[in-house]
Amino acid sequence: MNKEVYFQNLGIRDYKDTWDYQEKLFADIVADKMKKRINPDQRTENYFLTVSHPHVYTLGKSGDLSNLLLNEKQLESKGATFYKINRGGDITYHGPGQLVGYPILDLENFFTDIHKYLRLLEETIILVLAEYGLKGERSPGETGVWLDVGTPFARKICAMGVRASRWVTMHGFALNVNTDLGYFDHIIPCGIRGKGVTSLHVELQRSVDEREVERHVLRYFSQLFEATIVG
């Protein structure tokens, strides 16, 4: 089993361009898995991409389009784009000041349990938030990481939505660091009414170093997945 994970920070990159890149890496891993049936020594790679997207709304394959509250002209006026994509989950927003992570892993290098995979991604973010004195939590029946679960002030700080096929993953998480939360006013985030969103900036009342947050994410991800980060 190959537990090396190649890390790439893609900087600020268009959503569709990044999605296409994910699809290429995903397809390469699946192709290598097919070769492995013939040659057991065939290695499959793992990747962890981080990126910040220009303003964009994405809707998961089971999502409801009515959760987008803007029409095409309004999207254009906000400088935002929209894509219906092949991950799980409903609608979310990506934009500047947000740390988006896309682990593209062959889970057969780690474990074959998609629920465990999601819980470890959540745990990675929970441990990162603890570095900033925040208590991140899971909310029953709702993916992602939240603050003040079970209170009237419950708010999501990290959204998650993944795709997995043949035990290869893509898509991932979006952690609000210095995000302009006003863009969430134009959707029903993740299709959940009556709950807010927040960011590290709002919670700490200061700007937060996004590269520092990224370093924490990689450190805890490598610990929980018993992986070696390369690059």
SS3 content of the chain, % helix, strand, coil (to 5): 35, 30, 35
Taking the C-alpha atoms of residue 100 and residue 98, their distance in angstroms, rounded to an integer, is 6
> Residue 95: phi, psi to the nearest 5?
-170, 180
Does 231 belong to an annotated binding site? no
User: 88 a known binding residue?
Assistant: yes
User: How far is 220 from 210, CA to CA, in rounded Å?
Assistant: 16
- DSSP SS3 for 82: strand
d(CA 148, CA 139): 9
172 is in an annotated binding site: yes
Under 8 Å CB-to-CB from 35, ≥6 apart: which residues?
42
Q: 48: which DSSP letter?
A: E
* Catalytic machinery residues: 190
Q: Would strands 155-165 and 168-176 be described as parallel, antiparallel, or unpaired? A: antiparallel
CA neighbours within 13 Å on the CB side: how many for 170?
19
Check whether 154 is labelled as a binding-site residue. no
Q: What span, in angstroms and rounded, lies between the C-alpha atoms of 190 and 42?
A: 39
Q: Determine if residue 173 is labeled as part of a ligand binding site.
A: yes
> What is d(CA 148, CA 172) in angstroms, rounded to the nearest whole number?
23
161 is annotated as contributing to ligand binding: yes
Any known ligand binding at 141?
A: no
The answer to whether 136 is annotated as binding is no
Rounded Cα distance between 52 and 81, Å, is: 14
Annotated binding site: 87-94, 159-161, 172-174
Annotated binding site for substrate: 87-94, 159-161, 172-174
